Amino acid sequence: MTSTPHSVARTETFEAVLTRRVSRRSMLRAGVVVGAGAAVHSAFGTGTAAAAPAADGHPFALDFPPLEPPVPMPFDDTALAAGFTSEVLIRWGDGLFDGMPAFDVDAQTAKLQAQRFGFNSDWTAFFPLVRGGVDTGRDGLLWVNHEYTDGLMMFRSYDPDNPTKQQVDIELAAHGGSLVRVLQGGGGTWRFLRGERNRRVTAYTPIQLTGPAAGDPALRTSADPTGRLVLGTLNNCGGGVTGWGTLLTAEENFDQYFANNDALPEGKYKALNQRFGVPGGESGRKWERFYSRFDLAQEPNEPHRFGWVVEIDPFDPQSRPRKRTALGRLKHEAAAGVSAKDGRWTVYSGDDARFEFVYKFVTRDRVRDGGFAANRDLLDHGTLYVARFNDDGSGDWLPLVFGTGPLTRANGFTSQADILIRARDAGTALGATAMDRPEDIEPNPVIGSVYIALTNNDRRGTEGNPPTDPANPRPVNTAGHVIELVEDGQDAAATSFRWDILLLCGDPEDPSTYYGGFDKSQVSEIAAPDNLAVDSLGQLWIATDGAPRVLPMNDAVVGLPVIGPERGRTRQLFAGVFGSELTGIYFNSTETTMFVAVQHPGEGGTVDEPTSRWPDPAGEVARSSVVAIRPA
């Protein structure tokens, strides 16, 4: 038995847990071997089973000397572990199409911004362009989410109390996501190409609502009496790639764009808006002054059209994105997926707010060969579940299905559409476990496990709030933790699971921290885990958001093994810029490069008085950018 951070006995050996499921990506790699009969340590005990693939020659094998960044870091710098190099691949404001003028902070227009790389980059995904059956890993399309905008960091002399319509329009155009052709040259350096393969999706791109809630009266507005066509996507945070080659981009903190919840009559929608944080009066952004759709006094249903997972076909720049209502409406952090044993697709998602829940969607049908054309409606049919983490280390996926359990008319639920629009209310009715802000969730198909980042919860156990529980074991959890979940039968479609805690983050000298059972004197410290990625070795990578509030460090990217004797040994690879969080960890298809987005560099400064000008110290303003990291 490894020591566990709570006293729950672990009796199951989990040999099945450790039976490696080789992912498609791992099979691409030469030299993948099974460590026959090796003793393998996991969160669930010590067993005899297959080990992770051999790390020989993998560019990101966790055997490098961990970065020990300077304290404090210079304001205009990132830092990287020895043996690696990086370049800035693309910045906010870079033109994506031919003939565009260079970015100029003093010459912004909404029309130009809609053709430029957006603001505050978050999740990224790399889609290789394969020619003649060969994937070099050096040529592809990079998708990047643009989570939100910050007028103070975008405009000179910005007045938050009185934004202009032109500023609001530029901000609308800087939301959404970018799809960009990227190429790695002979010297190893990555660059992006302008041209027609690129695409911007913004806060006014037409998007189809599909699935069980599409067309529901609660989704109809005066601009869209069908309830099936939305303008734009907002607060795109995490995401995932599907088994049929599309991307899922997740709408998170949509509440901030809306105003005047107090104008609604008392009832379920007003209460739900409050739970989401929609302001009773005017919004912080004040977009409602220029666009009635953001004013609930005029358009009470518009917020119901955000908080969804959006599917986009990256290979067709003209295709219409789709909001998939079957996956539920919440503050979706992520949408990472994996195949179930029978070929159905599974999407995991966290609802990032204090005491909110973890969800999983399982499609009704199997993934078919033939890309998006053959799987066009796959995400419109299936079952959404919410997680209950039992105190004994077991867990249950509770179905959000109208007419089952408490999800009935007697309890105020009127249809499946109503349950999906009010997934939070349904989760509460089902008795889901209230978590410490679920951020990214990432299946690990190499190991057969799933990782959940709980970034922090400074109200856990405080007066009037839920107490600690085994899955959220620390009061006032400022440093966050990571849960490891193993589906029963190692089948992503299972309705029950086992879980344990992999990390309790924070200062390793703090006795309440736990680094997978590894010697804490040898780990790289981390706090506030957020974005996750898994490589073909089954190694887990974590990007942090808010570590400087807990530890004397900038936000970081760390990697750690999740099985074997070094389980829990975090190694820092990268340190972000002052004021930034790190996001978007994604590998190219040959895992020779890691893409990391640096979001809100210099936050706290303004265009007039910047605290950082990264990545261009001679420039006017800090610019959120994507960095390509690779062996030196």
Interaction site with ligand FEO (CB under 6 A): 147, 237, 252, 333, 352, 439
Stretch that binds Ca ion, among 17-25, 28-36, 378-386, 537-545 (CB under 5 A): 537-545
Contact assessment for residue 224 and residue 351, using Cβ atoms and an 8 Å cutoff = no
State which residue, 64 or 355, has the beta carbon closest to ligand FEO: 355
Of 311 and 581, the one with the shorter C-beta distance to ligand FEO is: 581
Minimum Å gap between C-beta 253 and ligand FEO is: 7
Position with the least CB separation from ligand FEO: 237
Nearer to ligand FEO, 147 or 288 (CB): 147
CA atoms of 215 and 491, how far apart (whole Å): 33
Do the bridges between strand 322-324 and strand 206-210 make them parallel or antiparallel, or are there none, so unpaired? parallel
Going by their DSSP bridges, the two strands 79-80 and 121-128 should be labelled as unpaired
Q: Which amino acid belongs to residue 161?
A: D
String of contacts with Ca ion for each residue 441-470, x by CB under 5 A: -x----------------------------
Beta carbons of 353 and 325 less than 8 angstroms apart: no
Amino acid identity of residue 446, one-letter, is V
**Cβ pair 62, 53 in contact under 8 A:** no
Question: Is residue 356 at the binding interface for Ca ion, with CB under 5 A as the rule?
Answer: no
* Binding letters toward Ca ion, positions 542-561, x by CB under 5 A: ---x----------------
Tokens, residue 404: 């089952």
Closest-CB residue for Ca ion?
A: 545
Distance in Å, CB of 331 to ligand FEO, minimum: 7
**By C-alpha distance, which of 425, 357, 359, 375 is closest to 218?**
425
- Which segments of 268-368 does DSSP mark as H helices, in order? 268-276
3-state secondary structure of 343: coil
Residue 356 interacts, among Ca ion, ligand FEO, none and using kind-specific CB cut-offs from 5 to 8 Å, with none
Task: Report the alpha-carbon distance of residue 240 to residue 405 in Å, rounded.
Answer: 30
Vertex 124: Cα angle to 122 and 129 (nearest 5)? 160
Give, as one character, the DSSP assignment of residue 31: T
Q: Determine the 3-state secondary structure of 70 from DSSP.
A: coil
Residue 515 contacts residue 521 (beta carbons within 8 Å)? no
User: Is 509 within 8 Å of 503 (Cβ atoms)?
Assistant: no
Q: Which two tokens stand for residue 606?
A: 């303004």
Q: Choose which of 171, 530, 555, 603 interacts with Ca ion (CB under 5 A).
A: 530
Beta carbon of residue 200, minimum distance to Ca ion (angstroms, whole number): 21
Q: Which is nearer to ligand FEO, 182 or 237 (CB)?
A: 237
Closest approach, Cβ 544 to ligand FEO, in A, equals 11
Q: How many residues bind Ca ion (CB under 5 A)?
A: 6
Compute the least distance from the CB of residue 599 to Ca ion, in Å.
Answer: 9
Q: Residue 440 binds what, of Ca ion, ligand FEO, none (CB under 5 to 8 Å, by partner type)?
A: Ca ion
The listed partner (Ca ion, ligand FEO, none) that binds 313, CB under 5 to 8 Å by sort, is: none
Q: Which residues contact 514 (CB under 8 A, 6 or more apart)?
A: 5, 501, 503, 504, 568
x-or-dash string of contact with Ca ion, 484-523, rule CB under 5 A: ----------------------------------------
Strand partners, 395: 389, 497
Strand 236-241 and strand 344-350: the pairing is unpaired
Give first-to-last CA distance, the chain, whole Å.
40
Query: Which of Ca ion, ligand FEO, none does residue 436 bind to, with CB < 5 to 8 Å depending on kind?
Result: none
Question: Which of 440, 484, 555, 566 forms a contact with Ca ion (CB under 5 A)?
Answer: 440
* Least Cβ distance, residue 545 to ligand FEO (angstroms): 6
In whole angstroms, the minimum distance from the beta carbon of 564 to ligand FEO comes to: 30
Taking the complex as a whole, the smallest distance from the CB of residue 237 to ligand FEO amounts, in Å, to 3
> Could you tell which of ligand FEO, Ca ion, none binds residue 252, using a CB distance below 5 to 8 A set by kind?
ligand FEO
| Minimum distance, C-beta of residue 334 to Ca ion, in the bound complex (Å) | 6
Q: Which does 94 bind (CB under 5 to 8 A by kind): ligand FEO, Ca ion, none?
A: none
CA angle 349, 253, 559 (to 5 degrees): 50
What are the residues binding Ca ion (CB under 5 A)? Answer: 439-440, 442, 530, 532, 545
